[in-house]
Amino acid sequence: METVRSAAAAVCFLGTAFSIIGCFLPAEKFKSEFKLIFSLMMIVIIAKPFVSGDIDLKNTKASAVQVQAGIDDSVRYGEELLRQSVCANISGNIERLCSEKNIAVQISSDVNISEDGSISINRIDIQASDERSALEAEKLIRSEIPGEYEITAGVESYDE
């Protein structure tokens, strides 16, 4: 990376120097020679890291594979964050719906987000303090949320 920075700095310096020198040259007399010298120096500066072996094009493919793997990991991480956010949102809305009907439950859900971005509910888990609340919540969910999904209902048990 340092080699690339050095080459870029040299190209910038060379371009600036030749621009300044070009302002002081007689109009057309040395223009073609000036362009030739400038072009040759640019070629040398750009080719030097490759010729000296500081930049190895053989490892470029491996680097590209590593970059693609990093991108794939980021995409998977983003998809998982989206899935978790959607699950939390659905669970919170169902809990709010149950709360409005005075049904005290805790809800968790699992969703599937397909390639085209459509969201489908796979499972809704109900945790209630008694069987009656669990059954009421299940009935409310089935009536309010259309679709094919699994509902599991559990009753909290307290060992004393």
The last residue of a domain, from among 55, 70, 99: 55
Using 50, 70 and 90 to split pLDDT, how confident is the model at 19?
confident
For 102-128, how does the pLDDT look when each residue is reduced to its tens digit (9 = 90+)?
999 999 999 998 888 888 999 999 999
Tokens (6 digits) for 72:
């794939």
Is the pLDDT score of 148 beyond 80?
A: yes
Query: What residue type is assigned to position 36 of the chain?
Result: L
User: In this structure, are 95 and 142 located in the same domain?
Assistant: yes
Domain that holds residue 129: 79-155
Any idea what the CATH number is for the domain that residue 138 is in? 3.30.300
Task: Kindly state whether residue 72 falls inside one of the protein's structural domains.
Answer: no
Tokens (6 digits) for 142:
């089935």
For 53-83, how does the pLDDT look when each residue is reduced to its tens digit (9 = 90+)?
766 656 555 566 677 777 778 888 888 888 9
pLDDT, the chain, mean: 82
CA distance 124 to 46: 61
User: In this structure, are 51 and 83 located in the same domain?
Assistant: no
CA distance 120 to 107: 16
pLDDT (average), residues 131-141: 93
User: In this structure, are 47 and 84 located in the same domain?
Assistant: no
CA distance 144 to 139: 9
Q: What total of structural domains would you count in the chain?
A: 2
- Those residues with Cβ within 8 angstroms of residue 105's Cβ, 6 or more apart along the chain or in another chain: 95, 98, 126, 127, 128, 133, 134, 137
For 92-108, how does the pLDDT look when each residue is reduced to its tens digit (9 = 90+)?
999 999 999 999 999 99
User: In this structure, are 96 and 45 located in the same domain?
Assistant: no
User: In this structure, are 127 and 89 located in the same domain?
Assistant: yes
Helix (H, G, I), strand (E, B) or coil at 156: coil
Task: Kindly state whether residue 60 falls inside one of the protein's structural domains.
Answer: no
User: In this structure, are 45 and 84 located in the same domain?
Assistant: no
User: In this structure, are 84 and 150 located in the same domain?
Assistant: yes
User: In this structure, are 92 and 51 located in the same domain?
Assistant: no
**Burial (CB count within 10 angstroms: exposed 0-12, middle 13-18, buried 19+), residue 13:** exposed
pLDDT (average), residues 16-28: 73
User: In this structure, are 43 and 93 located in the same domain?
Assistant: no
**Burial (CB count within 10 angstroms: exposed 0-12, middle 13-18, buried 19+), residue 34:** middle
